[in-house]
């Protein structure tokens, strides 16, 4: 077995009602909280009302470089000493980036990967408290924040272990109001974030256990949470799937779904979870085919078969692909073409995806022709 390292949020409180701990948790770290919310801050007004010295900062969508710059200015102007992200992955990422950058000099571009200098933060970020309201991204336990640059047409991360949340409060009750479209896209993102680290060459015994449990929960909860939004048990399954996937991806990396989705999201502006969902089935099929042809002894093939059992109750790659395809159909996931990708864009997407950090955990390196075939079959 290879050596491995493992890191996650300093403290995790999980369960229905756990968001009620927010005032006490915030008070442990400061008295001037900046609370990043979604575009509708009133959605969780009761939670925010319990905080003293608060300034709210609405984040309208997946954050851009300019959104982060404006948030950093707001945090400094407020004299924020703690930053809370109360929302979906977009809000958590914005809050995480604002917390990291507020005490540090320079511009966000000095710190992001790929299009920036990728500098580590010189000063410790402000304490970041994560309260997710979707069950999808696991951003509450990852050490990166994703930001899009419309000018470059890409989504990139700033990443550092000091960006991990000091406390993650994961309360499935907060996800009860998610509409079916958000449940579908965020839920399929969560599932993918358990599957990709499960087959990754960077998997380790800790992430293996987390991914297996996350997949089991998705198998039980995803279709139900989509069909019956107020089913707290199904919502709890998916909140746990999201949490476990987040911990797993931060420690064992991701694969082709996220490699392609990051580039497509930057080019089209399509929501992240939805983009992942459009690619999931064909990325699995394409990777399995390449493994059978070029690395038939890869342990990842056994992992895909086990994932079939964890999700559907029947072991085997065929069962996995059938279950995923049926779930994507039931959840009304569109095609790659329907989210705005044209065939002329395939070569550029594949080139950029092949170089992306998110692609690094795929069990086999897919060549340009294989990546293009995945896009074609997903269209």
By CB under 6 A, which span of 194-202, 265-273, 289-297, 348-356 interacts with ligand NAD?
Answer: 265-273
Q: Is 172 in the site for ligand NAD (CB under 6 A)?
A: no
Nearest residue to 132 via CA among 38, 223, 32, 214: 38
Q: Is 137 in the site for ligand NAD (CB under 6 A)?
A: yes
Please return the burial class of 297, using the count of CB atoms within 10 Å of its CB with bins 0-12, 13-18 and 19+.
exposed
By CB under 6 A, which span of 90-98, 162-170, 310-318, 350-358 interacts with ligand NAD?
Answer: 90-98
Q: Is 361 in the site for ligand NAD (CB under 6 A)?
A: no
* Distance of closest approach, residue 368 Cβ to ligand NAD, in angstroms: 24
Helices (H), the chain: 22-29, 45-49, 65-78, 89-101, 180-199, 205-227, 232-252, 256-268, 272-294, 299-312, 317-330, 346-355, 368-378
Of the candidates 145, 197, 219, 308, which one interacts with ligand NAD according to CB under 6 A?
Answer: 145
Q: Is 39 in the site for ligand NAD (CB under 6 A)?
A: yes
- Residue among 53 and 269 whose Cβ is closer to ligand NAD: 269
DSSP state of 62: S
Of the candidates 186, 352, 362, 378, which one interacts with ligand NAD according to CB under 6 A?
Answer: 186
Of the candidates 75, 86, 158, 182, which one interacts with ligand NAD according to CB under 6 A?
Answer: 182
Measure Cα distances from 342 to 30, 264, 273, 286, 361 in Å.
49, 11, 19, 20, 26
* Distance of closest approach, residue 145 Cβ to ligand NAD, in angstroms: 6
Q: Is 90 in the site for ligand NAD (CB under 6 A)?
A: yes
**Do 18 and 131 form a contact (C-beta atoms < 8 A)?**
no
Q: Is 169 in the site for ligand NAD (CB under 6 A)?
A: no
What is the number of alpha carbons within 13 Å of residue 80 lying toward its C-beta? Answer: 31
Residue 12 in tokens: 């995790």
Q: Is 178 in the site for ligand NAD (CB under 6 A)?
A: yes
The number of residues that bind ligand NAD (CB under 6 A) is 31
* Distance of closest approach, residue 314 Cβ to ligand NAD, in angstroms: 29
* Distance of closest approach, residue 176 Cβ to ligand NAD, in angstroms: 7
Of the candidates 217, 253, 272, 285, which one interacts with ligand NAD according to CB under 6 A?
Answer: 272
**Do 220 and 227 form a contact (C-beta atoms < 8 A)?**
no
Q: Is 221 in the site for ligand NAD (CB under 6 A)?
A: no
- Residue among 26 and 86 whose Cβ is closer to ligand NAD: 86
Of the candidates 67, 81, 171, 189, which one interacts with ligand NAD according to CB under 6 A?
Answer: 189
Q: Is 62 in the site for ligand NAD (CB under 6 A)?
A: yes
Distance between CA atoms of 361 and 109, rounded to whole angstroms? 25
Distance between CA atoms of 163 and 127, rounded to whole angstroms? 8
- Residue among 197 and 286 whose Cβ is closer to ligand NAD: 197
Q: Is 253 in the site for ligand NAD (CB under 6 A)?
A: no
Spatial neighbors of 133 by CB under 8 A, at least 6 apart, are 38, 43, 44, 86, 87, 88, 91, 174, 175, 178
β-strands 12-14, 167-170 pairing: parallel
Chain positions contacting ligand NAD, by CB under 6 A: 38-39, 62, 87-91, 93, 133-134, 136-139, 142, 144-146, 155, 174-175, 177-178, 182, 185-186, 189, 271-273
């Amino acid at each position: 077995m290879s050596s491995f390292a493992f890191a996650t949020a300093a403290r995790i409180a999980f369960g229905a009602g756990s968001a009620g701990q927010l005032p006490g948790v915030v008070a442990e770290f400061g008295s001037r909280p900046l609370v990043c919310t979604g575009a509708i801050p009133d959605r969780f007004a009761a939670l925010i009302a319990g905080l003293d010295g608060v300034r709210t900062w609405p984040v309208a969508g997946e954050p851009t470089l300019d959104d982060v710059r404006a948030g950093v200015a707001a945090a400094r102007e407020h004299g924020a000493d703690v930053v809370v992200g109360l929302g979906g992955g977009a809000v958590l990422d914005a809050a995480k980036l604002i917390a990291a950058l507020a005490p540090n000099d320079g511009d966000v571009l000095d710190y992001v990967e790929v299009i920036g200098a990728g500098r580590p933060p010189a000063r410790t970020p402000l304490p970041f408290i994560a309260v997710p309201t979707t069950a999808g991204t696991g951003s509450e336990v990852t050490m990166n924040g994703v930001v899009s640059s419309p000018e470059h047409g890409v989504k990139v991360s700033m990443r550092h272990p000091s960006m991990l949340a000091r406390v993650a409060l994961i309360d499935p009750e907060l996800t009860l109001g998610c509409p079916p479209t958000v449940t579908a896209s965020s839920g399929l993102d969560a599932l993918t974030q358990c599957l990709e680290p499960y087959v990754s060459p960077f998997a380790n015994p800790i992430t293996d256990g987390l991914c297996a449990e996350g997949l089991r929960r998705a198998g039980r909860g995803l279709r139900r949470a989509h069909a019956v939004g107020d089913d707290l048990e199904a919502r709890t399954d998916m909140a746990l799937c999201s949490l476990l996937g987040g911990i797993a991806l931060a420690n064992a990396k991701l694969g082709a779904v996220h490699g392609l989705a990051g580039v497509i999201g930057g080019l089209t502006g399509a929501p992240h979870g939805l983009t992942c969902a459009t690619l999931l089935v064909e990325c699995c099929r394409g990777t399995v085919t390449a493994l059978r042809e070029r690395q038939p002894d890869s342990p990842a093939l056994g992992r895909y078969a086990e994932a079939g059992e964890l999700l559907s109750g029947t072991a085997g790659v065929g069962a996995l692909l059938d279950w995923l395809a049926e779930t994507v159909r039931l959840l009304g996931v569109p095609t790659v073409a329907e989210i705005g990708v044209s065939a002329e864009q395939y070569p550029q997407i594949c080139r950029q995806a092949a170089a992306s950090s998110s692609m690094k955990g795929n069990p086999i390196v897919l060549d340009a022709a294989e990546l293009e075939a995945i896009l074609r079959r997903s269209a």
